[in-house]
A and B are shown apart, each in its own frame.
Chain A
Amino acid sequence: MSEEKVRSVDKATLELIEKAQSDKISTVFSRADEIKPCPIGVEESCCKICAMGPCRLPRSKKEEQKERRGVCGATIETVVARNFARKVAAGAASHSDHSREVVETFIKAAKGEAQGFEIKDEVKLLEVALDFGIEIENRDPKEIALELGEKALQEFGKQHGELTYIKKAPLRRQEIWRKYGVVPRGIDREVVEIMHRTHMGVDQDYKHLLLQATRCALADGWGGSMISTDLQDIMFGTPVPVLGNINLGVLKEDHVNVVVHGHEPLLPELLVVASKDPEIKAMAEKVGAKGINLAGMCCSANEVLMRHGIPCAGNFLQQELALITGAVEVMTVDVQCEMQGLKDVAECFHTRLITTSNRAKIEGADHIEFHPETGLDTAKRILKIAIENFPNRKHTVHIPAYSQDTVVGFSHETINYLLGGLFRASYRPLNDNIINGRIRGVAGVVGCNNVRTTHDSAHLTMIKELIKNDVIVLTTGCAAMACGKAGLLTPEAAAQYAGSGLAEVCEAVGIPPVLHMGACVDNSRILIAATAMVKEGGLGDDISDLPAAGAAPEWMSEKALAIGQYFVASGVFTVFGTTWPTLGSERVTRHLFEELEDMYKGKWAFEPDPEKAAKLMLEHIDKKRKALGIDKARERVLFDMAMRRALA
């Protein structure tokens, strides 16, 4: 087996890695060969929060039980827990700052000050207004939206009380959070408090530190991320099923190709609008192109794919490869998961790399800042730059001939609708099919790509194993794109890959066995879907009672840790692959992998082998089925009157 083949299971990716190698272009794949992970950093056994260090505290290779302390006396537990908490804070801050940008734009849209934006989804507006206790009777949608936006913005700076969305969780879950004092007050406060408590000489009890990490993570999942998802839905529409196309083959040689990369869907939404402008189309034709081909990358791709069917060029590890096709006129990047290496790759071609957020610049890249007030003008300006750049293609275009149809857009509201129609929309059919055993359980498989594993391989191996065993999979982010490329996001995939019970349900409802629920910020949709299952009844009183598990087999970002921590704290057994950042401390790891289950009824696990990880998830699902008493088929008994009287 050649080296390239273990880089990815995706043929388009392999083809372009080979091209990069022959053209001597540096990519994440070649750089990973040159840089090995730091053996101390990988276990987070290094403290660099003060200038007396850095203190390196690696585990003894001889397995000696030597106490490891930093110069200040900090134990290895404190060091590892601090590092973990800081990562959770960074992840929560990322989703939540994205959310703040969305809320600020939302307020401007409600005031009519955001060019090209509107309040599109009144159903979702009313839904969220009810969550926030906003009076809706006889009020104009824009007036409701303005009040909603202002209330949502207050969630970030709130100092006391509880985040509004906490009350959406199952009552039992809320009790658990209150018992341990981890209900978030305000989103920003929880992030700031982690940064304070992990400063030199503050919180030096690892369990206490991890309580705050939980509180901060919950402020992400049930706060920042959820607000972002909901307000984006109101502005751009709640996703409904739509057919899309995915993989690098969506780029078109005879079109002006513009790739939107990043996470905030604000500018990408306007690029969609602007690309349909007749003036822009005419301009493109004038330079010899057949039109504008807008394509997505990473979570920006998920956003425009599920709301407009805009093709998706690929996931995280394919970002540089898209430019290596030589067919991309412009790549816009906003925030999160954009490699600085893009600039060097772009320079090998004619591609213009454009940063668009005031919070993220890349040295040497063009910077055209997005502001809601002039958003549509900015979108048109970017498209014009792309059109003008089309004649500058200086290399042979090489677009791999791989793309795949995919059905996306399974918001929790849409799943609810699909399961019962307009007059009896409900999670009842899902619960019933879990109870009767056609569906064994539910898994959320989400997260990134990581160059230290074979690209997409762990996602696909795990997910195929789960659906083969009748577990329906909910997916987001780069995991979702991996599934799309492999053809798992089509209803036909049920017959091909799913177990007979799951396939039967998928065929009856007309859904794929793997449901694309959006970008990484949309993991909040999975929380809400799980809550709906609980509230529907028959599967316990809490998320932790559900036959469900979560995983991020190819994770790499701090956001993934924040997501994992809020899933665990919401009662979900969560398995991560690739690597695990607390292995430097046995006690911290044991706390996360074992003791958290006593507190939150959910816990972490680390298993780099995706098949073994899937087995762990199945074992957990079966354990929960047993606890619910639905692990065995029961004979149906028709009760006569005497039996009924005996019941009373």
Chain B
Amino acid sequence: MNNYQYEEKESFDGRKVKVLGPTYEEGKPQGMQDWKVKLGGREEILGYLKTALRYWYSKDWFGSERRKQEA
């Protein structure tokens, strides 16, 4: 924990507060961040499509197009 860096910033009410600074690792990323490998079998993939890409693949929720009143 001692390795974390903190910055002092002003909060909305004017108080000085300590804010956690950057926590990323130094250096350049190696390889690709292929998030899809986290999805297991087909069931998990289909579940993901129906929730994450619900805009097209969910049968019961279509975001703004389901609203009663026009935007």
Contact = CB atoms under 8 A, between A and B. Distances in A.
Contact of B45 (A122, A243, A538): A122
A268 interface: no
Interface string B31-46: 1111110110010011
A243 B64 contact: no
A453 interface: no
Given A123-B45, A405-B28, A536 B63 contact: yes
Interface in A496-546: 510, 531-532, 534-541, 545
A123 B48 contact: yes
B18 to A, nearest CB: 18
B49 to A, nearest CB: 6
Contacts of A476: none
Contacts of B32: 240-242, 309, 409
A35 to B, nearest CB: 44
Contacts of B64: 534-541
B40 to A, nearest CB: 11
A417 B35 contact: yes
Contact of B52 (A171, A416, A534, A541): A416
Interface stretch (A66-74, A126-134, A351-359): A126-134
B53 A238 contact: no
B45 A531 contact: no
Contacts of B45: 122-123, 126
Contacts of A414: 35
A628 interface: yes
A537 B67 contact: yes
Nearest to A241: B33
Given A123-B45, A535-B64, A242 B36 contact: no
Nearest to A412: B53
B55 interface: yes
Interface in A599-622: none
Contact of A413 (B53, B62, B65, B67): B53
Residue from B48, B49, B62, B63 whose CB has the most chain A CB atoms within 10 Å:
B63
Contacts of A272: none
Interface in B13-62: 24, 28-29, 31-36, 38-39, 42, 45-46, 48-49, 51-53, 55-57, 62
A628 B71 contact: yes
B29 to A, nearest CB: 5
B8 interface: no
Interface in A412-451: 413-414, 416-417, 420, 422, 425-427
B65 A171 contact: yes
Contact of B49 (A126, A534, A541): A126
Contacts of B36: 121, 123, 238, 240
Given A240-B33, A240-B36, A241-B33, A536 B55 contact: yes
Interface residues of A, number: 43
B7 interface: no
A425 B71 contact: no
A170 interface: yes
Contacts of A127: 49, 53, 57
A168 interface: yes
A169 to B, nearest CB: 10
Nearest to A238: B36
B63 A537 contact: yes
Interface in A201-245: 237-238, 240-243
A487 to B, nearest CB: 14
Residue from A237, A238, A532, A537 whose CB has the most chain B CB atoms within 10 Å:
A537
A541 B33 contact: no
B34 A240 contact: yes
Nearest to B41: A122
Contacts of B31: 242
Given A126-B46, A414-B35, A417-B35, A425 B52 contact: yes
A413 B56 CA distance: 12
A126 B42 contact: yes
A412 to B, nearest CB: 9
B33 A131 contact: no
A532 B64 CA distance: 10
A628 B33 CA distance: 36
B55 A532 contact: yes
A123 B65 contact: no
A427 B55 CA distance: 10
A170 B33 contact: no
B6 to A, nearest CB: 16
Contacts of B35: 240, 414, 417, 422
Nearest to A139: B42
A171 B64 CA distance: 10
Interface string A158-172: 000000000010111
Interface string A57-81: 0000000000000000000000000
Contact of B71 (A131, A136, A416, A541): A541
A535 B63 contact: yes
B37 to A, nearest CB: 10
A543 to B, nearest CB: 12
Residue from A405, A531, A534 whose CB has the most chain B CB atoms within 10 Å:
A534
A318 to B, nearest CB: 24
B52 A130 contact: no
B67 to A, nearest CB: 7
Nearest to B67: A537
A648 to B, nearest CB: 14
B49 A130 contact: yes
Given A168-B56, A422-B48, A537-B64, A243 B29 contact: yes
A538 B38 CA distance: 30
Nearest to B39: A123
Nearest to B64: A537
18 contacts: A121-B36, A123-B45, A127-B57, A172-B65, A237-B34, A240-B36, A242-B33, A416-B52, A417-B52, A420-B52, A425-B48, A425-B53, A535-B62, A535-B64, A537-B63, A537-B67, A540-B71, A628-B71
Closest 3 CB pairs of A and B: A425-B52, A537-B64, A535-B55
Given A532-B55, A535-B55, 16 more contacts: A123-B36, A123-B45, A123-B48, A126-B49, A127-B49, A171-B65, A240-B34, A243-B28, A422-B38, A422-B48, A425-B51, A426-B52, A427-B55, A535-B56, A535-B65, A541-B71
Interface of A: 121-123, 126-127, 130-131, 136, 168, 170-172, 237-238, 240-243, 309, 405, 409, 413-414, 416-417, 420, 422, 425-427, 510, 531-532, 534-541, 545, 628
